[in-house]
Amino acid sequence: MTYMKKKYPIRLTPQRLAILEYLEGNKAHPSASDIYKAVSEKYPMMSFATVYNTLDTLREKMQVLELSIDSKKKRFDPNTKPHHHLICMECKAITDIHRKFALDLTDGERCDYKIMRNHIDFYGVCSNCKKKTK
Amino acid sequence: MTYMKKKYPIRLTPQRLAILEYLEGNKAHPSASDIYKAVSEKYPMMSFATVYNTLDTLREKMQVLELSIDSKKKRFDPNTKPHHHLICMECKAITDIHRKFALDLTDGERCDYKIMRNHIDFYGVCSNCKKKTK
DNA sequence: ATGTGTGCAAACGCTTTGCAATTTG
DNA sequence: CAAATTGCAAAGCGTTTGCACACAT
């Protein structure tokens, strides 16, 4: 487990390791309670506060992204490389798209903001749902 | 007030008119409680449930968009024309950007989806918040 | 010894719901 | 009259917080 020490610049408690283990490579964009449910099965000592604390810490250290895809709850993405999303309007599946798009705003559009990044959501219908609709 | 009859395909009660009046041309992307606060000052008979009911109905009839920009609460946009958003990461202000971006995905990226539309969020810091941070 | 992390439970804010009363077509 | 809408209050759910205890450096 110590292999993570370099990778994650936070103190690695058993709880945090359990959470990181669950997140590692997870492409489901889980919510905090998804994480709590999954992790507490294996490690029953886990508390909700610790999940939130850990996610907070990870977000501060940029080890996790907090997504606003779902207006009901935060969802988390362990893939911190900037990327975009392809979302199925039917089944809500989310696929990552790893490409940079150079999108420049005009001075007028920029409204004197300092722009840091952009995120694109592509909305469509996945191949599975296309079949069903027919 | 009857001028709205054609425009909004819903039964127009005084409460709904009050909400529509507040939303008409509103570019602040208000939350449900923003709407409740503003409208109930003028029409004290307004209840929270009615605000949510009305927003739900309007969303079904595509008269309002529900935004998931803010992970804490839903925000609503009376502008249903497709457009993009410039978001202040500090104060969560949202500015509309009315431009079409032609963003084509490669066949590989498209994952056999039928893509309908895209939405871009530009994240940055607005001029107000830039001042405060210094 | 000091700071950091944990667990519990209570509190909080936004949203939804059940239901009776009212209004509308 | 039947169906839709309203207001109220309670409940639901995700999230945050306060605090005492445990742990690590």
- Mean pLDDT calculated for residue range B22-47: 93
- Domain match, B37 and B68 both: yes
Q: What is the pLDDT of residue A132?
A: 67
For the cut 50, the answer to whether the pLDDT of residue B2 exceeds it is no
User: Does residue B54 have a pLDDT over 90?
Assistant: yes
Q: Let me know whether A19 and A72 are in one domain.
A: yes
Between CA A50 and CA A46 the distance in angstroms is 7
Tell me the pairing of strands B75-77 and B94-97.
Answer: unpaired
pLDDT band of residue B70 (cuts 50, 70, 90) is confident
What's the average model confidence in pLDDT over B104-121?
93
Cβ atoms of B69 and A68 closer than 8 Å? yes
Q: Return mean pLDDT, chain A.
A: 87
Between A132 and B72, the more confident residue is B72
Q: Between residues A32 and B1, which one has the greater pLDDT?
A: A32
Contacts of B23 (CB under 8 A, 6+ apart): B30, B35, B64, B76, B78
Through-space separation of residue B47 CA and nucleotide C18 C1' in angstroms: 16
What does the pLDDT read at residue B7?
Answer: 63
Q: Which residues pair with A69 in a beta bridge?
A: none
Percent pLDDT > 90 in chain B is 67
Report pLDDT for A53. 96
pLDDT at B113: 94
Q: How far is CA B104 from CA A14, A55, A73, B50, B111, in A?
A: 44, 34, 30, 42, 13
**pLDDT single digits (tens) A57-108:** 999 998 999 988 888 899 999 998 989 999 887 777 788 999 999 899 999 9
- Whether A103 and A88 have beta carbons less than 8 Å apart is answered as no
Among A73, A109, A130, select the one facing B97 at the smallest CB separation. A109
User: For position B76, what pLDDT does the model report?
Assistant: 96
Model-level pTM? 0.84
A4 has a chain B CB within 8 A of its CB: no
CB contact under 8 A, B124 and A116: yes
For helices A14-23 and A32-42, angle between their N-to-C axes, nearest 10 degrees? 120
Residues 6+ apart with CB under 8 A from A125: A88, A89, A90, A133, B113, B114, B116
Query: Following DSSP, what letter does each residue of B41-78 receive, concatenated?
Result: HH-TT--HHHHHHHHHHHHHTTSSEEE--SSSS-EEES
Residue of B113, B128, B134 to mutate, testing the A interface (most A Cβ within 10 Å of its Cβ): B113
Whether B128 and chain A come into contact, CB under 8 Å, resolves to: no
Taking the CA of residue A3 and the nearest CA in chain B, the distance in Å comes to: 33
Burial (CB count <10 Å: 0-12, 13-18, 19+), residue A118: buried
Do B56 and B22 reside in the same domain of the chain? yes
pLDDT for the residue numbered B129: 86
Instruction: Test B68 with A71 for CB contact under 8 angstroms.
Output: yes
Cβ of A124 within 8 Å of Cβ of B109? The answer is: no
Query: In the Cβ-directed half-sphere of A33, how many Cα atoms lie within 13 Å?
Result: 3
Query: Strand ranges (DSSP E) for chain A?
Result: 65-67, 75-77, 84-88, 94-97, 114-125
Phi, psi of B41 (to 5 degrees): -60, -45
Of B62, B77, B92, the last residue of a domain is B77
Confidence of residue B6 (pLDDT cuts 50, 70, 90): low
State whether A10 and A29 are in the same domain.
yes
Of B77, B94, B112, which one is at a domain's C-terminal end?
B77
Asked whether residue A14 falls in the same domain as residue A70, the answer is yes
Domain end residue (candidates: A29, A59, A77): A77
Contact call for residues B87 and B69 (beta carbons, < 8 A):
yes
A48 shares its domain with A97: no
Same domain, B50 and B95: no
Q: pLDDT band for position A2 (50/70/90)?
A: very low
CATH number of the domain encompassing residue B58: 1.10.10.10
Residue A133, pLDDT score: 59
Residue A7 binned pLDDT confidence (cut-offs 50, 70, 90): low
Which of A71, A113, A121 faces B126 most closely, judged by CB atoms?
A: A113
Which SS3 state, helix, strand or coil, does residue A125 take?
Answer: strand
Predicted confidence at residue A6, as pLDDT, reads 52
Cα within 13 Å of Cα(B69), Cβ side: 31
Number of domains into which chain A is organized: 2
CATH number for the domain harbouring residue B129: 3.30.1490.190
Q: Are residues B64 and B100 located together in one domain of the fold?
A: no
The answer on B123 and B98 residing in a single domain is yes
Residue A120 has, within 13 A of its CA and on its CB side, a CA count of 22
B60 and B113 both lie in a single domain: no
For residues B90 and B15, which has the higher predicted lDDT (pLDDT)? B15
Cβ-defined contact of B120 to A116 (cutoff 8 Å): no
> Looking at the structure, do residues B51 and B115 belong to the same domain, yes or no?
no
Provide the 8-state DSSP code for B24: T
Residue A114 belongs to domain spanning: 84-133
Q: Which residue has the higher pLDDT, A124 or A92?
A: A124
- Model confidence at A50, pLDDT cuts 50, 70, 90, reads very high
Interface residue B120 vs chain A (CB under 8 A): yes
CB contact under 8 A, B124 and A113: yes
Same domain (yes/no): B55, B7: yes
The answer on pLDDT for A1 being more than 50 is: no
